[in-house]
Structure 1
């Protein structure tokens, strides 16, 4: 019990403290959330990914292994959430939003700070989280957008949207320069590290501001099913895969903890953008973020004792 309380205080509470600042600032100053989102997507997240992947010591095999793990994990969540959506008899549009809430999790402005605190800024552990973050972003802004647009429009061209995302190019550049040992001039590297260092604070501030815009609504039965899949079943599936594949040590811990993150805020953002049950999506994000304080604490505890 003492260790659980320590995890809650030393790892989860600092994250919610910065989120609370963003929450209060949004309530007082009514900040422009679109500007904050663009600041994250086009500035700090690409910078952070580039610097982390360039500095990390990992093999191409690790990237392939995580990619394989990620694809299987998402497919399993998709099949399960689709089955639950049919059980709940959700409409086509609501079914899509429900499924997205399970397969898109907050690897960036929640997962990165958790990883940083759990592993005490270990570059190897962070490289695993960054790979998961990058894959999530590519997946979200390709399939995520496509799935919502296809509800009414059926436009396959939406799947090409991820080519506009700087995260993809930041990842590719960081990996290539790392693999070939290419040095980066100081006048480029220094500002890149400044941007990377700002990522966690700005990401959590943004998350708090986004949560401040969501209103509480009670009695949403399907929301609770979404939380169950994302926060409980998700880590169980990941644990089963980790044991089955014989993954051990820091890699196993990082992947298990990454799988436990709450629903991505961006899943609500794209639901709002394409007017596909935005309030339903927002409620899932809100509740999963708060409930995750308990579930993520438990998963961190299990990860430390199992691997």
Structure 2
């Protein structure tokens, strides 16, 4: 219990404080959440990704293994949630939201700060985290678009749109500079270091602001079930796959902790644009985020003591 409380106080509580500040400020001043998201996606996140990949001592074959792991994890999660949703008798629209809420977990806004605190800003651990953030972004622009039954031109537009995002180039250049050992001018490095340092506080503030924009008026059992799958079944599935892949150490710990994250707020944004019942996605995000205050410290404890 003392270890659990240590994790809760030193990892979860600092995160919760900044999220709550973002939540309160958003309710008080009604900030433009779209502008906040653009600030993060186009300015802070690309530099943060570049700096962490540039500084990491990476094994590229291991990163490829991580991507293959995540693909298999996503496929099994899809199958699991599909059949559970069918067994619960969900209508097609809710079935998509039920599945998406488990496929799209908060690897960025929530997972990055947790990784930073758990692994004490270890560039190697963060490089694994960044690959997971990259995969989640790519996945949202592929399956996420297809699941919404967009027109064929819309699918390709969304997919090509990702390659116009600075996040992609931050990742690509970070890998290239690391692999070929390319140096960065001191003035550029100092500037990027300042920008990178702003990442954790800003992303948690934005998470709080995003949560403040979520509203729902009822509780549905299937939404609670989706939260249970995301927070409990998801990590259990990860543990099984980690053992099969024979992964351990920091890589296994980072993967397990991140796959225990709550549903991504992005799933509510998708639902608001394409679903007849966006509140359903909001319920899942809200429940999974609230319950994660208890489940994530438990998963962190398991990850650090088992792997």
- Asked if the contact 1:142–1:160 (Cα under 8 Å) also holds between the matched residues in 2, the reply is no
Within 2, Cα distance between the matches of 1:210 and 1:172? 28
In structure 1, the gaps of 5 or more residues are none
SS in 1 for 2:89: coil
Tell me the alpha carbon deviations over residues 146-182 of structure 1, each in whole angstroms, 9 at most, x when there is no partner: 32243xx465424433223222221111000110011
Q: Does 1:297 align with 2:297?
A: yes
Tell me the alpha carbon deviations over residues 234-276 of structure 1, each in whole angstroms, 9 at most, x when there is no partner: 0000000111111111111111111101111112112223345
How far is 1:188 from its partner? 2.5
Q: Please show how residues 172-191 of structure 1 align to structure 2 within 5 Å.
A: 172-191=172-191
Within 1, Cα distance between the matches of 2:44 and 2:274? 25
- Asked if the contact 1:149–1:274 (Cα under 8 Å) also holds between the matched residues in 2, the reply is no
How far is 1:225 from its partner? 1.4
Within 2, Cα distance between the matches of 1:145 and 1:74? 15
How far is 1:191 from its partner? 2.1
- Asked if the contact 1:47–1:192 (Cα under 8 Å) also holds between the matched residues in 2, the reply is yes
Moved more, 110-119 or 154-163: 154-163
SS in 2 for 1:76: helix
Tell me the alpha carbon deviations over residues 203-234 of structure 1, each in whole angstroms, 9 at most, x when there is no partner: 10011011112224343111011111110010
Within 2, Cα distance between the matches of 1:97 and 1:161? 23
- Asked if the contact 1:142–1:162 (Cα under 8 Å) also holds between the matched residues in 2, the reply is no
Within 2, Cα distance between the matches of 1:241 and 1:211? 31
Q: Does 1:142 align with 2:139?
A: no
- Asked if the contact 2:93–2:275 (Cα under 8 Å) also holds between the matched residues in 1, the reply is no
Within 2, Cα distance between the matches of 1:161 and 1:11? 35
TM-score, normalization by structure 2: 0.95
Q: Please show how residues 4-83 of structure 1 align to structure 2 within 5 Å.
A: 4-83=4-83
Within 1, Cα distance between the matches of 2:241 and 2:197? 33
Q: Please show how residues 260-271 of structure 1 align to structure 2 within 5 Å.
A: 260-271=260-271
Q: Please show how residues 82-101 of structure 1 align to structure 2 within 5 Å.
A: 82-101=82-101
- Asked if the contact 1:137–1:167 (Cα under 8 Å) also holds between the matched residues in 2, the reply is no
RMSD: 1.5
Within 1, Cα distance between the matches of 2:59 and 2:304? 24
Q: Please show how residues 134-173 of structure 1 align to structure 2 within 5 Å.
A: 134-150=134-150, 153=151, 155-157=154-156, 158-173=158-173
SS in 1 for 2:108: coil
SS in 1 for 2:198: helix
- When residues 249 and 86 of structure 1 are mapped into structure 2, their CA distance, relative to the original with a 3 A threshold, is same
SS in 2 for 1:183: coil
- Which residue of 2 is the match for residue 129 of structure 1? 129
